[in-house]
Structures are given as structure tokens and as C-alpha cells.
Amino acid sequence: MEKPTEIMVKQTRLSLAQGDITRQNTDAIVNAANSSLMGDSGVDGAIHRAGGPAILEECKQIVARQGRLPTGRAVITTGGNLKAKYVIHTVGPVWHGGGQGEPELLASAYRESLKLASQRNLTSVSFPSISTGAYGYPVADAARVALKTVLTFLQNETTSLKEVVFVLYDARTYETYRVALEELAK
């Protein structure tokens, strides 16, 4: 992993790293899931492959209990065989051009994940770049929403979190988040 870019927000370190989120040892990693919670392609598939069947088992129980997970909401399961103890599954919006509430739904996915982590008293959590793969959200726009939402949460809410990491898979996404963080931190 590259040397992370970071800022402090009250008691919490917010940092960017390039790499594979399935290898993170934060208390939880966030999964960019889809509403079925059945594991799919992209980061979702990678997390289920690396974490093993216990994650899917819990996802199935959640869907049996409460139905499909709506866009912008989040649930938590075991991390199975991952280094992370928990996986927080959230559903980002599919990009339809930006006029269908995409920014608010994306912000909600981050906020609900941070709330869950705080409710469980976790000290660290890692996020992927939600919605910018198969769901087609333009990366620069998504990066601004993601970072602004996390910054606002950390500034305004009481949280157990000491560390929030964005783990960006490819160099272009990492660089886009780096520029967005620089702009926001000005």
C-alpha cells in the first residue's frame, strides 16, 4: 500500500490508501453490496470470497428477517475469515445521471455505515469507493460526497471511531479522492 494521505477530524484520523479492502485490519470493512445481499462482482464478490461462507449465511438471515436492503441503508455481519471482525453491508445508488437523488442516497450509505460502526463501539472502519464501479457513479462526484459526508459526521456526531480509512483499489480512484480531500480540507 502507498503511504496514506490523512487528516485529523477531532479525535478521528481520516486517511486514504490504495489497496485491497479485504486485507484491512480495521474493526470493520464496508461492503458496497446490492439489495439482495447475495454477494456479487466487484468488491462485494472479493469480500465474500475472502471472508468465506459465514458472511453470506448471516446476509441470508437478514434478508429472510427484513427483506432486501434498501439503497442508502446498512447492516452488519461477522467478518468471517477476514482480519476485520465485522463487515458493514451498504447499498449505494445506481447512477442515473444525478437527478434521481443519487448524492443524498450515496451520503446516506456512508452515514448509516458510520452510525452502525459507532453503535457497535468500533474504533476503526474502512470504506471502498461505493457506487463508482458497476453502479457507474462518476468518481470525482462520488469522492466529494463520500469525503464530505464522513467529515461532517465526524465533526458533528459523538463516535467511538478513531480511524476511518478509504481503501481505493486503483490509482486513478486513489488520486481522485486525494484531490477531493485536498479541496475539502482547505
Catalog residues that contact ligand ADP under the rule CB under 6 A. 20-22, 32, 42-44, 46, 92, 128-135, 167, 169-170, 173
Catalytic residue (one of 20, 27, 40, 44): 44
Contact 90, 130 (CB under 8 A): yes
Contact 163, 28 (CB under 8 A): no
Q: Which is nearer to ligand ADP, 44 or 58 (CB)?
A: 44
Told to judge if 40 belongs to the known catalytic residues of this protein, a careful annotator would answer: no
* H/E segment holding residue 144: helix 139-156
Shortest Cβ 121–ligand ADP spacing (Å): 25
- Between 57 and 170, CB nearer to ligand ADP: 170
Q: Which of 120, 126, 113 is nearest to 75 (CA)?
A: 113
Least separation, in Å, of the C-beta of 89 and ligand ADP? 11
- From the CB of 32, what's the least distance to ligand ADP, in Å? 3
Radius of gyration of the chain (CA): 15
Whether 88 and 74 have beta carbons less than 8 Å apart is answered as: yes
Residues acting as catalytic residues:
44
